[in-house]
Structure 1
């Protein structure tokens, strides 16, 4: 009996030890990364870090930013991975981020790294404003392709343009903030007044206008390059147009939420997010990534996308975000799609 009990206890101890060895730290990760990419990022990270499990909570940038701010006094996330840098700057100003310099951060392009030491956020890639233009639907209507942002105010496009709502979409916000930086405040709002006359609807997703153009549900979708390349790869009859004035852009970025109980695991995720391997994965869809020398041309996208990107002042955009969104809401929200 004693021998049996000893053997049983030894077996139990072994099982307990094995269970402890395979115990996983679960990270709640808030993200706005395109849903199509979430599984491959999760699988690759977890394969390299089997002791950590990533649990995604995904929504569009504006919704995710509002959620994080609402949870300021009772944070639910450990990490924010793949949310606009301007949103993370806003969280930084509220004292919500845990500064951390991940291993290898000095190898990144400086415009993808927070200016503080240590940085509060680090970038992954850039998404760049572009127009998705359905050539078949345009031909049916006798339309000509726009060359510039201001072309979108031409009467011929009335009812044929869809763009994201900047209150719910990071793509929408980068458009509006970029127009103000490019044109000056008065001219930018005048341009948006003219554009509004031609808008069929404002969506709550940055990729949706491009998907609508690809499906023939609109002629022009104000979106960004990633869904355009995917749509063309799938055979959609669209052209991807980068307006001649230049394109606004945003960095998808990563940060640790202050006060996380899983700091070590969170740091491992941020470390991995800036590796060559991770940047190679970002480059599958994004032509511009944070790690210099990694990016290879993306099918259906031009090789000179960096030359189309404006000098974007993230700090200015973050500091003026609230006022910009309030003004936009007052002027244009009547054409927004219902939420949900």
Structure 2
């Protein structure tokens, strides 16, 4: 997922002790011996990658390799850097390309095919490159409208549950979303409307949504922490929008960081408004430590790593049988039928859709 996820990595690290392990610069300033380098595998990622120290140490114990994480901005910026360094990559494995950007990465030939051990335990519907194994699915997350439970209880108004609900007069001037041209959740929400209404119908939907008072801001931080009345930040800012485009995992985050922890999440999820993101990792073409990269890909789909992810990156496992933490099962939302759009279709139309959306909604 992108760096506009629910909470910054810095705050997350401070709160639950995860490892950031950010590398500084490239290999040119590294004076270590070749023997030492061969024991290090470099993971290039967007800024939201996080894993517990214990799990990374377990990878080292099992394989002898130490993971170095090189963070490269948000998902789009990180991918752009890898395209520019194609064939001479910054690291060995790239993590964080999702289904909205997947075709761009594959078309640029960034990855060396590798079928990760344990891939047979990964759910079939997330294996979007199953025949070629250029990328390995690692996690999923759902971009959805979140709602402020107190607001709707006080108003004695049922919260919206679907895309269609959001254009009803009862919800006029209640929704804030992110700019699809500058924000990953904003783009995901746009793609969700494309999945729901098709290429012929999504523009008409957004005309109605605009007429119903949707507010657009640049990014997730502003939308969720400044405009949304249901978030801890929004309450401090006296925000007045009880609907926001965020993630299905946002309610557990609100509970995790509340002091004292409430018995019920203050926010809910409109499960009929969701678009599913799938994040992938791949062995970079030209990787200096190809064997270490393969070992890391194997580990990313192991039960150990998969069960470690939810409370570190607030995403869902892709491995069958991987257990979710109680925080997720108690306070999270189950999204049975998220909207999806094929990566090739996204690649062919993304720029045009965003331009059309901007003309309709922003200008």
Q: 2:282 aligns with which of 231, 241, 255?
A: 255
- Distance in 2, Cα, partners of 1:195 & 1:63: 30
Q: 1:230 aligns with which of 253, 258, 275?
A: 253
2:148 counterpart residue number? 134
2:243 counterpart residue number? 220
Q: 1:280 aligns with which of 294, 302, 307?
A: 307
- Distance in 1, Cα, partners of 2:157 & 2:201: 26
| Structure 1 length-normalised TM | 0.76
Distance 1:20 1:59, change over 3 A: closer
Q: 2:298 aligns with which of 268, 271, 277?
A: 271
Q: Give the number of the structure whose residues are more often helix, by fraction.
A: 1
User: Once the 2 structures are TM-superposed, how far is the Cα of residue 114 of structure 1 from its aligned partner?
Assistant: 3.5
| Structure 2 length-normalised TM | 0.72
Confirm or deny: 8 A CA contact 1:288 1:295 kept in the other structure.
no
1:299 paired to 2:330: yes
- Distance in 2, Cα, partners of 1:271 & 1:333: 44
Confirm or deny: 8 A CA contact 2:216 2:362 kept in the other structure.
no
Confirm or deny: 8 A CA contact 1:30 1:58 kept in the other structure.
yes
Pairing 1:199-210 to 2, within 5 Å after superposition? 199-205=214-220, 209-210=223-224
Distance 1:140 1:116, change over 3 A: closer
Counterpart of 2:201 in 1: which secondary structure? Answer: helix
1:319 paired to 2:352: no
Q: 1:240 aligns with which of 268, 274, 280?
A: 268
Q: 1:185 aligns with which of 199, 205, 210?
A: 199
Counterpart of 1:102 in 2: which secondary structure? Answer: coil
The unaligned stretches of length 5 or more in structure 1 are 1-18, 335-340
Confirm or deny: 8 A CA contact 2:137 2:278 kept in the other structure.
yes
- Distance in 1, Cα, partners of 2:257 & 2:320: 29
- Distance in 2, Cα, partners of 1:158 & 1:76: 48
Confirm or deny: 8 A CA contact 1:32 1:60 kept in the other structure.
yes
Count how many residue pairs are aligned between Structure 1 and Structure 2.
311
Distance 1:333 1:104, change over 3 A: same
The unaligned stretches of length 5 or more in structure 2 are 1-32
Counterpart of 2:144 in 1: which secondary structure? Answer: strand
Confirm or deny: 8 A CA contact 1:84 1:252 kept in the other structure.
yes
Deviations 1:290-331 (A, max 9, x none): 1112244533024x43x2323543332233323323323443
User: Once the 2 structures are TM-superposed, how far is the Cα of residue 277 of structure 1 from its aligned partner?
Assistant: 1.1
Confirm or deny: 8 A CA contact 2:142 2:277 kept in the other structure.
yes
1:171 counterpart residue number? 185
- Distance in 2, Cα, partners of 1:43 & 1:320: 42
Confirm or deny: 8 A CA contact 1:132 1:238 kept in the other structure.
no
Larger radius of gyration: 1
User: Once the 2 structures are TM-superposed, how far is the Cα of residue 156 of structure 1 from its aligned partner?
Assistant: 5.5
Distance 1:321 1:76, change over 3 A: farther
Confirm or deny: 8 A CA contact 2:166 2:209 kept in the other structure.
yes
Q: 1:60 aligns with which of 53, 74, 78?
A: 74
1:29 paired to 2:29: no
Distance 1:95 1:106, change over 3 A: same
User: Once the 2 structures are TM-superposed, how far is the Cα of residue 160 of structure 1 from its aligned partner?
Assistant: 3.7
Confirm or deny: 8 A CA contact 2:91 2:288 kept in the other structure.
no
Structure 1, 159-168 or 100-109: larger mean CA deviation: 159-168
